[in-house]
Amino acid sequence: MNTSNIYQFTVNKINGETVPLSQYSNKVLLIVNTASQCGFTPQLQDLAELKTIFADTDFEVLAFPSNDFGQQEPLDGAAIEAFCHNYGTNFNVFEKMRVRGPHAHPLYKFLADKKANGKVNAKPRWNFHKYLIDKEGRVIDFFYPFTKPTSSKIKKKIQRLLAAGADKVTNK
C-alpha cells in the first residue's frame, strides 16, 4: 500500500457507512472541513457551484463537518445532511470528525503533515480549509478558509490536474 496518498484511509458517510478513499482513485478531489454555524458557511453553495462547473469531469468535493473551531458545528448525522441540502449540496458530506489536534482523524493528520504527505504542512486554522488532491491521491496544495472555492486560483489548479490526467491517458 502506498502511504504517500489518501487511499490508505477510510471515512464514514453521514449515515455511518464506511468508505475507503481508494474509491476516489483517478479523481481530482477538494477536501474541505465544514461547519453549519460559521461565517464561511455560504461556501457550501460555492462548493456546489464548483462541483457543477466540473460536473462532466473526474472531480469530486469531499466535505467533512467538524466542531473543532468555535463549536460551530453543533449538528450531527441527518441534521447536517438536511442543513447542507439548504445550500444545494451536490457533493459528498461525511460524518462529523475532528480535523485538528491529537484526536484528529488520521486522514486530517496526514493532510496537515508534510512528513506524511510529502507536500504541504498546513493544519486547518478554521472551518473551510481546503486540500487539493491529484488523481493519484497525493496532496498537491491547500487553501485557507478565506479563499472561495470558486476562485480562479482553485479552478485553474483543478483544470491543470484534470488536464494532466488526460495527458497521461492520451500518451499511453
Per residue in 31-41, pLDDT (tens digit) is 999 999 999 99
Q: What is the structure's pLDDT at 164?
A: 87
What is the band of 165 on the pLDDT scale with cuts at 50, 70, 90?
low
Range of the domain at 99: 6-170
What is the band of 169 on the pLDDT scale with cuts at 50, 70, 90?
very low
Q: What is the structure's pLDDT at 144?
A: 97
Q: What is the dihedral of CA 43, 45, 47, 48, to 10 degrees?
A: 170
Number of H helices, E strands in the chain: 5, 7
Which class for 57: exposed (0-12), middle (13-18), buried (19 or more C-beta within 10 A)?
A: middle
Residue 118 and residue 124 in contact, taking contact as beta carbons nearer than 8 Å: no
Taking the C-alpha atoms of residue 138 and residue 163, their distance in angstroms, rounded to an integer, is 16
Question: Does the residue 130 lie in any domain?
Answer: yes
Give the CATH number, domain containing residue 67: 3.40.30.10
Which residue among the candidates 38, 97, 122, 161 is catalytic per the annotation? Answer: 38
Considering the chain, what is the average pLDDT of its residues? 93
Question: Does the residue 107 lie in any domain?
Answer: yes
In percent, the amount of the chain with pLDDT more than 90 equals 91
Residues 95-118: what's their mean pLDDT?
96
Residues 117-132: what's their mean pLDDT?
96
User: In the chain, how many domains are there?
Assistant: 1
Question: Does the residue 1 lie in any domain?
Answer: no
* Residue 38 known to be catalytic: yes
Residues 135-160: what's their mean pLDDT?
97
Question: Does the residue 79 lie in any domain?
Answer: yes
Taking the C-alpha atoms of residue 17 and residue 132, their distance in angstroms, rounded to an integer, is 24
Question: Does the residue 132 lie in any domain?
Answer: yes
Question: Does the residue 21 lie in any domain?
Answer: yes
Question: Does the residue 18 lie in any domain?
Answer: yes
Its pTM stands at 0.94
Question: Does the residue 85 lie in any domain?
Answer: yes
In percent, the amount of the chain with pLDDT more than 70 equals 94
Regarding beta strands 18-20 and 10-12, do their DSSP bridges make them parallel or antiparallel, or are they unpaired? antiparallel
